[in-house]
Structure 1
Amino acid sequence: MDRRQQFATIDEYIAAFPPDVQAKLQELRAAIRAAAPDAEERISYQMPAYYLKGNLVYFAAFTHHIGFYPTSSGIAAFQKEIEGYASSKGAVQFPINKPLPLELVDKIVRYRVAENLKNAAKKGKKE
């Protein structure tokens, strides 16, 4: 995939990859949508993104991994569970040649939904 390519939708983004990677991205997308059915799908920073009363999570495919970006709070809350994966303050890398940890993704996304809803209620945000 050409990293300079511009995407308008998540479908366009996923279609830019080989079929085996597309299947993984669709799996991840389905897991996110199941955990956050009210989240809006967007493209942000040329990556698939989910928004619910603020940024929720992002993901992106690379040559050897799929990056999952649940913000720093999503990483910090699940530090123990992501120990076996390469990670940074705001991201975790799932190897492309291994099954996706969909249960973990579900837990992280649900955590982020609750966090965003709680923060929005505190601010009295109306969206």
Structure 2
Amino acid sequence: MTPIEEYIATCPKERQLKLNELYQTIKNIVPDATEKIAYGMPTFYLHGNLVHFANAKKHIGFYPTPSAITTFQAELVPYKTSKGAIQFPVTEELPIDLIEKIVAFRVQENLKK
């Protein structure tokens, strides 16, 4: 079991399906990324931290850096955001297409480093 799979297994059962969906989505886009726990959150690392995610009380937090929030600001209008975070409500489906675009953007950003 990977560190991220272990993290998901500690979360409430009703959250595990969405967390696994998010995990597999990111993993499919960046299969070569290193998986680890950083700042207490599942983290994908490729030439630096790529994205983090976490289970929260009322949402799933997705942390793709401030540049991704700025770049995808128009598409993120339905979600609560802050400088480097997006909150996906647990009562809604994850926006997989948007997550895929954000992760691909972050990969390109990190490869330019």
TM norm. shorter chain > 0.5: yes
- Residue 60 of structure 1 aligns to a residue whose secondary structure is strand
One-letter amino acid of the counterpart of residue 73, structure 2: Q
Q: 1:40 aligns with which of 34, 40, 49?
A: 34
- Residue 112 of structure 2 aligns to a residue whose secondary structure is helix
What's the CA shift string for 1:8-48, capped at 9, x where partnerless?
81122101112220110000001111121211111001100
- Residue 104 of structure 2 aligns to a residue whose secondary structure is helix
Q: 1:103 aligns with which of 88, 97, 100?
A: 97
Q: 2:88 aligns with which of 94, 101, 112?
A: 94
* Distance apart, 1:112 and its partner CA: 0.2
Indicate whether 1:15 and 2:9 are aligned.
Answer: yes
Equivalenced residues, count: 112
Runs of 4+ in 1 over 3 A off after TM superposition: none
| TM-score (norm: length of structure 2) | 0.95
Indicate whether 1:55 and 2:52 are aligned.
Answer: no
Aligned-CA RMSD value: 1.1
* Distance apart, 1:77 and its partner CA: 0.8
Partner Cα distance (2:109, 2:31) in 1? 15
| TM-score (norm: length of structure 1) | 0.85
What's the CA shift string for 1:88-114, capped at 9, x where partnerless?
010000001110001100000000001
Partner Cα distance (1:80, 1:36) in 2? 24
One-letter amino acid of the counterpart of residue 29, structure 2: A
* Distance apart, 1:72 and its partner CA: 0.7
Task: Please list every run of 5 or more consecutive structure 2 residues that lacks an aligned counterpart in the other structure.
Answer: none
One-letter amino acid of the counterpart of residue 52, structure 2: Y
Partner Cα distance (1:107, 1:37) in 2? 15
Task: Please list every run of 5 or more consecutive structure 1 residues that lacks an aligned counterpart in the other structure.
Answer: 1-7, 120-127
